[in-house]
C-alpha cells in the first residue's frame, strides 16, 4: 500500500498509555528521536500495538510546521 501522506517513518513502540478513549504512543525512530502519537484506544486494539513492536509513524505534510531559533 502507498499513502499520500508524505511522512512515513519506521520506528519501534516504546510505550503506550491508554486513557478513557484516547491513547498516547511513543515511537522511537532513527537517531534516537522519539515521536508521540495521540490515537484512539480502538486503533491500539485494532493494530494490536505492543511495546517493542515495529511500526511506522504517518504524518500528512500539511500537519508539519517549521520553527527557527
Q: Give min distance, CB of 26 to its own copies, in A.
A: 9
- Tell me the C-alpha distance between 28 and 56, whole Å: 10
Q: Is the dihedral angle over the CA atoms 24, 42, 60, 50 positive or is it negative? A: positive
Q: Give min distance, CB of 32 to its own copies, in A.
A: 7
Binding track, positions 6-25, relative to its own copies; x by CB under 8 A: xxxx-------xxxxxxxxx
Q: Give min distance, CB of 35 to its own copies, in A.
A: 5
52 SS3 class: coil
| Paired residues of 25 in beta bridges | 16, 37
Asked if 55 touches its own copies (CB under 8 A), the answer is: yes
Amino acid at each position: 500500500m502507498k499513502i499520500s501522506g508524505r511522512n512515513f517513518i519506521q520506528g519501534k513502540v516504546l510505550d503506550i498509555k491508554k486513557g478513557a478513549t484516547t491513547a498516547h504512543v511513543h515511537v522511537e525512530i532513527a537517531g534516537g528521536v522519539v515521536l508521540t502519537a495521540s490515537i484512539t484506544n480502538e486503533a491500539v486494539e485494532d493494530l494490536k500495538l505492543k511495546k517493542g513492536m515495529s511500526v511506522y509513524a504517518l504524518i500528512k505534510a500539511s500537519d508539519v510546521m517549521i520553527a527557527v531559533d
